[in-house]
Structure 1
Amino acid sequence: MDIENRDEFIIKKYQQEEQIMVQLFVQWCTNYQLNPAELYQRAYPGQPQSAVLTDAIDETDTEEMDIDHETLLDVLQMFGNDDLAFVVSEEIEKLPKK
């Protein structure tokens, strides 16, 4: 694999994984009746909403898929979304304890 193809492969792989991260975030928000666009805006005020986020919101299934709070936080942080992870952790604190 030459350098150009390798770089292209790495970029595509990152984009696919980023989409999965955004889908998990949107599904988690849906599970807890939270607005993902609003949480994103709180985390990144003044930044335009991501097209990936908009697509994920449009495509989200209303069926609940169990996503553990810690897993979501870990995934967000793995992608460098520390501000969003902080906002999510604030929302977790507001949720009723099981």
Structure 2
Amino acid sequence: MSDSYSKQMEEQIIRNYERDEHMMILVFAQWCVNHDLDPTALYNRAYPDQPANPVLQQTIELTVPKDEAGFIPDETLLGVLSMFGNEELAYTVTEEIGKRGNRPR
């Protein structure tokens, strides 16, 4: 493989990862909206030592009101967060799910 081909492949992988990461953030933000939760507050609770996440702020603007949104199962969100290694955020989401009691949605 040539160096330029390797560089192109590396750049494509990075772009794909970033696109998928943005999708994961959108799923998280929309799930929060669907459950009347503040995505920024949940994120800050999970990662209190991190600065504000500009991608999260941009993505929140892409969410729709919950009455216009599709259903996002809790398990789907937790699976996506886990896939990207967001264990702290998954834990915080799980706490919020627990607050609903036995009302999985």
- TM-score, structure 2 normalization: 0.89
RMSD between aligned residues: 1.2
Query: Hey, what does 2:91 align to over in structure 1?
Result: 86
Q: For 1:33-52, what aligned pairs fall within 5 Å after superposition?
A: 33-52=36-55
Hey, which bits of structure 1, 4+ residues long, moved more than 2 A?
none
Using the TM superposition, give the Cα deviation of residue 64 of structure 1 relative to its aligned residue in structure 2, in angstroms.
2.2
What secondary structure, in the 3-state scheme, does the structure 1 residue paired with 2:76 have? helix
Structure 1 stretches lacking a partner, 5+ long:
none
CA distance in 2, matches of 1:49, 1:59: 17
Query: Hey, what does 2:71 align to over in structure 1?
Result: 66
Identity of aligned residues (%): 45
What secondary structure, in the 3-state scheme, does the structure 1 residue paired with 2:61 have? helix
Matched, 1:56 2:59: yes
CA distance in 2, matches of 1:15, 1:4: 17
Using the TM superposition, give the Cα deviation of residue 50 of structure 1 relative to its aligned residue in structure 2, in angstroms.
1.3
CA distance in 2, matches of 1:45, 1:13: 28
1:30-84, CA deviations, whole angstroms, 9 ceiling, x for partnerless residues? 0000000000000000211211100111221112210000110010010000000
Query: Hey, what does 2:17 align to over in structure 1?
Result: 14
CA distance in 1, matches of 2:38, 2:64: 14
